[in-house]
Each structure stands twice: as C-alpha cells, then as structure tokens.
Structure 1
Amino acid sequence: MSLGKIDTHAHYVPPVYRRYLADEGFFGGQSTPDWSPEAALEEMATLGVQTSVLSVARPGFWFGDVGKAAGMARQVNEYAADLVREQPDRFGLFAALPLPDLAAALQEVEHAFDQLHCDGVVLLANTDGVYLGDPRLDELMAELDRREAVVFVHPNALPAEPVPGVPVFVADFLLDTTRAALNMVRNGVLRRYPRMKVVLSHGGGILPYAAHRIASLTPMGEGGQVDRAGFLAECGAFYFDTALTASPHSMPSLLAFARPGHVLYGSDWPYAREDNSEYFTAQLDEYPLDDDVRRSIERGAAESLIPRLAQPR
C-alpha cells in the first residue's frame, strides 16, 4: 500500500485565534472557516493525506498592537505544537511569526525552533505593506538561513483597495505571492541566504507563467541592470505547492518552470471552500505523471524538506 500525501499547505484555526479575529473585527471577504483536529483528519482521509503541515493563513496577527500580535503568535504556535507532539505522523507545524515587529519575530523564531521543534515557519508575502525581500527583514532572513529553515510564503491582501465584488483571495493573492517572489530575487535574498528553503503558495502565483516577462523587465540589485538569465536562475531555488492550482492547464507550466523535486502537494483546507480541495486534488490525481514525479509531488519533495516525515518506501 502506498503512503499517503504530505500536505504542506494546510491551515488550522484554533479557538483562541478565531476569537482574536472576531474581536479585531476581521472579515476578509469570507467568514473564518470551521476547523477542528477531528475535521482535519476526516478531510485528510478524503484527500489521501497522511500528514498535514499546519499553518495559519491571512491575516496573521497584525492589527497595530505589537504585544497582542506576539502573544497570539505564541498561543497558536503552542496549540499546534501540542497536536504535533500527540500525533507526529499526522501533523506538522510551520510556526507563525508576529511581523512586522522584527524583535518579536526573532524571539518567536527562537521559541518555535528551540522549544517547539517546528518544521519551518510561515510568512505572509507582505505585512502592513512591507514585502518579503525588503532589506528591513534581512536580520530575520539571516536567522532563518542559519537554521536552514523551510519558509512557507502565504499571500496576504495587497496594500491597495480590492476590485469591488472580487474578493482578494480570487486573484490578488496570486499577485501578492508574485510580488514577494520578485522582490526576494531582485534583492538577492535567495542568493545571500541559500540555506533557507522558500515554498511559494498556489503554484507561485503567476511567476511560472510570467517569469520570462518579469525577468526581462526587472532591474537586479544596486546596479539596476536587467539580468534575465540571473533572475531566472535564482527563481530555481523556489519550491511551489499545488494548492488551488493543479489543472491540465497549469501543471505543464509549473512543471516546466520548477526544478525537479521542487513541487509539493497542497490542499489549502479549510480555506478552500465548498469542494475546491477535492476538485484540485482530483485534478492532480488524474494528471498524467511519471511514477517518480508523482511520488515526489505527493510526498518525496516534502520529505526532503522535512526529513522527520520521511518513511521507507
């Protein structure tokens, strides 16, 4: 019997986080989804998932109060770490950080890795308009690089008004991820911190499809010169998940762009409403792939990033 998938794009909503969002009046175009460990395990069985690596999603914790954000990050990380300790073969954890406060984020990195033994961290593509790749985050990037961390990048709302009637998660999320990826490459983050492994949500937004356009129009570094080949080469360091992405139209572009072993399975449950987790998982299950490529996407690439999840074939 084959081993089940490893889901690297799986969210959780502990009760304390639900109350926090309600108290802050957050509404991101959809209600905060219902979630429980039991419901997660049921959905995992439906999707053929052995292990879900849990992360919080947008909006994170930032509503203008450093103390509240740091306290909530600690609580939700400890909640998930308890689940991992209880069922280490079923759950993993990408710990959340209370950005934009750099000092608080660095403290949480230390706690998450040294005390909670997390599997990586989740970072929003932008927090309060500051995108990943911004030099103000270099100290955090250096610490994550020192720890050889897996960094899961999840989109946020753009720092701009949405199109009326179009929720931000429909299209803006794709641009937000692409902006963060572009900014990280433009500022040499992947080159300067090569031990950090960066996973882009939702197939990297539009990056695989538009990479040559972006590379041809983006000045690189302090010199401000376009370096098409250099830009594309640095993009090769990214990993990509299949959440809300796998289809007969998107998979050829993603597989042509990503390095072998750099595509991972993702469900985006429970934020992928209705039947969307099942729909896109079925698209992946039905897509014609070599056996080695399928095993890599379903769990092999995740095993290389999170060795504790590796199991003998």
Structure 2
Amino acid sequence: MAAEQAPSSNDVRTWERIDFHAHLLPDFYQRALTETGEAGPDGMSAAPGWNVQDALSMMDRTGIRFAVLSLSSPGVHFGDDAAARRLARRINEFGAALVTEQPDRFAMLATLPLPDVDGAVAELEYALDVLHLDGVAIETNARGLYPGDDAMRPVFEALEARSALLFLHPTSPPNHGSVSFGRPRPILEFPLETTRAVIDLVLAGTLRRSPRVRVLVPHGGGALAVLADRVATLAPAQMDLGDVDVIAELGALYYDVAGMPVPRQLPALLQLASKDRLLYGSDWPFTPIPIIEAMAAAIGSTDLLTDADREHIGWRNAVTLLPRLAALAH
C-alpha cells in the first residue's frame, strides 16, 4: 500500500482557526421565524438547519478550533417589543448555556431586541453583566433604525462603558423590494448594507464618541475598501465633519474575511486595514461546507498573505480581540 501523502501547507485542515463569524439557529428560533412569516429570511428559500452537533462536526471537518456564535438576520424583532425582548432573552440564555457546556469550543455574542432601544439596553446589561457573554451582535438596521442614528446613543453608551465587542451583521435594507429585483438579499444587498451602516457610523460621529467599543465588520467590509477614498474626499467637501479622518476610523475597525475575499476583495481591504485587524469567518450554516472549504483553501494559497499572516488571521488576532481565548493558543 502506498504511503499516505502528507497534506500540503495550504490544506484547509492544516491551519486551525478561530471562527469569528458563525451563527446559531436553535429550534425555538426556527419556529419563531415560521410563525412570523420569516421562514425564508432575506429572500432565501429557507433558513438553514442547525444544531450543536452539526456545528461541532463542521468545525472538526474544516479545521475550526473555536467559534464565536451570533444570531444572524432577521434578528428577533418582528413588530412586537415584548415578544422581541422574550426571544432575545431566550437566545442569549441558550447561548450562555452552550458556552458553559462547551467553553473550549464556543463563545457567544448577545442578541438585542432592536429597534426597542430601552429593551436593547436592558438586555445588553443582562447579557454582558449577568450572563457574561463575549460581546454584542446587532444588525445594520433594525426595522429602519441604523446604528448611527441619534436614537441609538444609549446602546453605544452602554457598549462604551463596558469596552464591549460589537459585531455589525448585515440585514435587508428598508424597501429592499425596490432594489433587490427579487433576488436573495445576501448576494448584493448585505455587503451594500454593511457599507452604508459603517459609513454612517463614521459620518455621524458614533465611532469617535465610542473609542473603546471594538467594532467587527463582516464579509471583508462589503464595499468599504473600494469606496473609502471617495467618502474621505467628498464628505468633508460637502459636510461639516470637523477633523474626522475617514480612512483612519475605517482602518481602526476589525474585519472578518467571511465571503470570498480572494482574489479581488482582499487586495483592496489590505489597503484599508492592517493584517492585525483581519479575522477568519466561515458564516456557517448560511454558507455550505464546500464553499467554506473553498474559501479557506483560497486564503491558504493566496500569495497576498504569508504563512505568518495566515496564522494571525486564523487565530492570533482573535485572541487579541477576545483575550479569554488565550488559553486556546497553540
């Protein structure tokens, strides 16, 4: 029998990763989506299945050592504040229990019942101060309320007081039917929503007022890298922005590389953010395993990154952003 060929240095299984962009969809949340008419969220045919064992199996298959979980779009608010508060609490307690059971495999980012700002602040305080979750995940808009809106100041003040980690996940834009042409919104509207929401955080002054909040932007920042110079040039010419430095503020954010950043997006992103600001993300279960493997292989083989870069993106930067993961360092 011929000797088994050793895997190459770029084999998806050979560079263990911390996954900063992974989602959970417990059965009770799936039922809530169905009951509220959101069984096919964001124009998709259906939400993907999810359970803990499948998540662990996917991680083991693809070389993911640890996953930071969050709820994806469409969130928990379907028009009723009280129902959204209950569902957010249930999601957060489910995630906290999972982290307690599997502390060496999972972290959890809290879900908030936005656009109910009072409820969101109360849930943020409970999730971070009582459940001790690892950060907060919000969407690029909550029923039309964007993070940079003045109404969101209490949420950012609570985040700032805790030097919290904030994951900004895209969702469908308001009036999406007029711009998506009936196609699933994750294809194009999600990265454009991300771009819109982050630029608004810069131009509204939210990031400058919240310097201790560590903001993580998914999918390589959407179109931010290719539009940053346009915004940095035109916005000060047409608005009173004071001494805002658009490029510096965008470069201070963290970006995960979920999606397909190679070969075209990553070169632009590396012009905007340093490599110590990039994190690995799978976007499972919304991204099928074969695509996850293809994305990881592309990052593993691109000449845009050295092996040291891949190690930092794979797990070292994650440990810096979430220090409790230092125990997993290898």
TM-score bracket, shorter-length normalisation:
over 0.9
Distance 1:16 1:218 in 2: 44
The answer for the alignment partner of 1:296 in structure 2 is 312
Give the conservation status (yes or no) of the 8 Å contact 2:58–2:289.
Answer: no
| Post-superposition CA distance 1:175-206 (Å, at most 9, x none) | 10001100000011111110000011101110
The answer for the alignment partner of 2:259 in structure 1 is 244
Distance 1:51 1:3 in 2: 13
Give the conservation status (yes or no) of the 8 Å contact 1:215–1:226.
Answer: no
Q: Does 1:22 align with 2:39?
A: no
The answer for the alignment partner of 1:5 in structure 2 is 17
1:271 to partner: Cα distance: 0.7
Give the conservation status (yes or no) of the 8 Å contact 1:74–1:108.
Answer: yes
Give the conservation status (yes or no) of the 8 Å contact 1:216–1:226.
Answer: no
Corresponding residue SS for 2:245: helix
Q: Aligned-pair RMSD on alpha carbons?
A: 1.9
Give the conservation status (yes or no) of the 8 Å contact 1:121–1:151.
Answer: yes
CA 1:76/1:207 → structure 2, altered by over 3 Å: closer, same or farther? same
The answer for the alignment partner of 1:121 in structure 2 is 136
Q: Aligned partner of 1:299: which letter?
A: W
Q: Aligned partner of 1:237: which letter?
A: A
Q: Aligned partner of 1:16: which letter?
A: F
Distance 1:157 1:108 in 2: 23
Q: Does 1:131 align with 2:146?
A: yes
The answer for the alignment partner of 2:74 in structure 1 is 59
CA 1:183/1:241 → structure 2, altered by over 3 Å: closer, same or farther? same
| Post-superposition CA distance 1:241-272 (Å, at most 9, x none) | 01113312221111221133110000000011
| Identical pairs, percent | 40
The answer for the alignment partner of 1:266 in structure 2 is 281
Distance 2:105 2:14 in 1: 16
TM-score between both structures, scaled by the size of structure 1: 0.94
1:62 to partner: Cα distance: 1.3
Larger Rg computed on CA atoms: 2
Give the conservation status (yes or no) of the 8 Å contact 2:15–2:311.
Answer: no
Q: Aligned partner of 1:24: which letter?
A: T
Distance 1:201 1:7 in 2: 12
Residue 37 of structure 1, aligned match among 52, 58, 77: 52
Q: Does 1:155 align with 2:170?
A: yes
Q: Aligned partner of 2:307: which letter?
A: D
Give the conservation status (yes or no) of the 8 Å contact 1:215–1:227.
Answer: no
1:3 to partner: Cα distance: 7.2
Residue 101 of structure 1, aligned match among 113, 116, 119: 116
1:218 to partner: Cα distance: 2.2
Distance 1:7 1:228 in 2: 36
Q: Gapped runs of 5+ residues in structure 1? A: none
Give the conservation status (yes or no) of the 8 Å contact 1:92–1:118.
Answer: yes
1:219 to partner: Cα distance: 4.5
| Post-superposition CA distance 1:265-295 (Å, at most 9, x none) | 0000001136322221221122232233211
Q: Aligned partner of 1:23: which letter?
A: E
Q: Aligned partner of 2:153: which letter?
A: D
Q: Aligned partner of 2:265: which letter?
A: S
Residue 214 of structure 1, aligned match among 231, 236, 256: 231
Corresponding residue SS for 1:169: coil
Distance 2:94 2:149 in 1: 30
Give the conservation status (yes or no) of the 8 Å contact 2:15–2:314.
Answer: no
Distance 1:3 1:254 in 2: 22
Give the conservation status (yes or no) of the 8 Å contact 1:186–1:219.
Answer: no
Q: Aligned partner of 1:147: which letter?
A: R
Q: Aligned partner of 1:216: which letter?
A: T
1:227 to partner: Cα distance: 7.2
Corresponding residue SS for 1:156: coil
Residue 194 of structure 2, aligned match among 141, 162, 177: 177
Corresponding residue SS for 1:253: helix
1:82 to partner: Cα distance: 0.8
Q: Aligned partner of 1:304: which letter?
A: T
**Equivalent runs, 1:171-210 vs 2, <5 Å:** 171-210=188-227
1:226 to partner: Cα distance: 6.2
Q: Aligned partner of 2:49: which letter?
A: D
| Post-superposition CA distance 1:66-123 (Å, at most 9, x none) | 0000000010111111111111110000111000011110111111111211111101
| Post-superposition CA distance 1:206-237 (Å, at most 9, x none) | 001221112222259xx923679711111122
| Post-superposition CA distance 1:29-75 (Å, at most 9, x none) | 22010111110011111221000000000000111100000000010
Q: Gapped runs of 5+ residues in structure 2? A: 1-12
TM-score between both structures, scaled by the size of structure 2: 0.90
CA 1:45/1:217 → structure 2, altered by over 3 Å: closer, same or farther? same
